[in-house]
Structure 1
């Protein structure tokens, strides 16, 4: 039975005996870690949106975020929420650090609401890691039919 294992030899350029430049260019390219947006441990923003006759109630979970790091933007019927997130976690056993993890980044969500929002009457409150938005619907946004001349 023939030996099934063999040692891998890197391809060499026929003329010079040097490694192939294209192999050198991509060496390690596919071995690097790939970052996915929803990887475990990365913060996400969960939202609940409720509608009633007067407007919308939005609850966005932002645990560990400071009030100063949250931005809310309203543009017509588009709501955008973004926050700077800083999470640090360290596990110690006595004076020895066993594991330390840090995450610094930004989370954001945007959604289009069926009605335009009255920005002047909108209100926001942040407590216990939950952002509560009260977004009243803009009154008088009825459609107007144009006469074609």
Structure 2
């Protein structure tokens, strides 16, 4: 039977291929950072964007607003101490990782944008150019 599958020998089996691929192979070498969750609140006079960025340093965060697009980018860098001791890890998931989120937000006063980063939470205040009262939502009859 083994002659029908010359790839299979005593050192190689199908389960180990899948284990190697998902655990030690392809996916473990791709820098990944789960996409952080963002909340956007409309206060009537401004939008408040709150983003959780645990483990990220303030210096590694970039916030820009250009052409009605808010861009939040961050990078988590590997510590030098960790890089020297890579071979002693049993599981290694915290590596150099990066992400970028973009939101289209119109009617913003660029000169009044403020951002603060405390305890792993980024808050961005985007004041509106022309604050307008929001219309109350109503019930819509379905016919």
- TM category (shorter chain) comes to 0.5 to 0.7
**Higher RCO by CA contacts (8 Å cutoff, separation 6 or greater):** 2
Q: Which has the larger radius of gyration?
A: 1
1:103 aligned counterpart, secondary structure:
coil
Structure 1 9/43 Cα, relative in aligned 2: closer, same or farther at 3 Å?
A: closer
Q: So what's the TM-score if we normalise by structure 2?
A: 0.61
Inter-CA distance 69–98: structure 2 relative to 1 (3 Å threshold): closer
Instruction: Flag the structure with higher strand content.
Output: 1
Residues of 2 paired with 1:83 and 1:128: CA distance?
Answer: 15
Match of 2:90 in 1: 99
Unaligned stretches of 5+ in structure 2? Answer: 8-16, 83-87, 132-143
Q: How far is 1:118 from its partner?
A: 1.0
Offset at 1:116?
2.5
Task: Count residues with an aligned counterpart.
Answer: 107
Question: Any runs of at least 4 consecutive aligned residues in structure 1 with deviations exceeding 3 A, and if so which?
Answer: 31-36
Among 77, 81, 87, the alignment partner of 1:86 is 77
Shift of the 104–98 alpha-carbon distance from structure 1 to 2, 3 Å rule, reads: closer
Aligned to 2:12: none
Q: Give the alignment's TM-score, normalised by structure 1.
A: 0.59
5+ residue gaps in structure 1? 11-27, 91-96, 141-149
Separation in structure 2 between the aligned mates of residue 72 and residue 42 of structure 1, nearest angstrom? 18
| Aligned partner of 1:46 among 37, 54, 58 | 37
2:122 aligned with 1:108: no
SS of match in other structure, 1:68: helix
1:85 is displaced (CA, Å) by 1.2
Question: Could you report, residue by residue, the CA deviation over 1:91-121 in whole angstroms, capped at 9, with x for unpaired residues?
Answer: xxxxxx45352310211100112x2211110
Taking a change above 3 Å as real, the CA distance of residues 68 and 6 of structure 1, as seen in their structure-2 partners, is closer
Does structure 2 retain, via aligned residues, the 8 Å contact 1:70–1:82? Answer: yes
If each structure's helix is expressed as a fraction of its own residues, which one has the higher value? 2
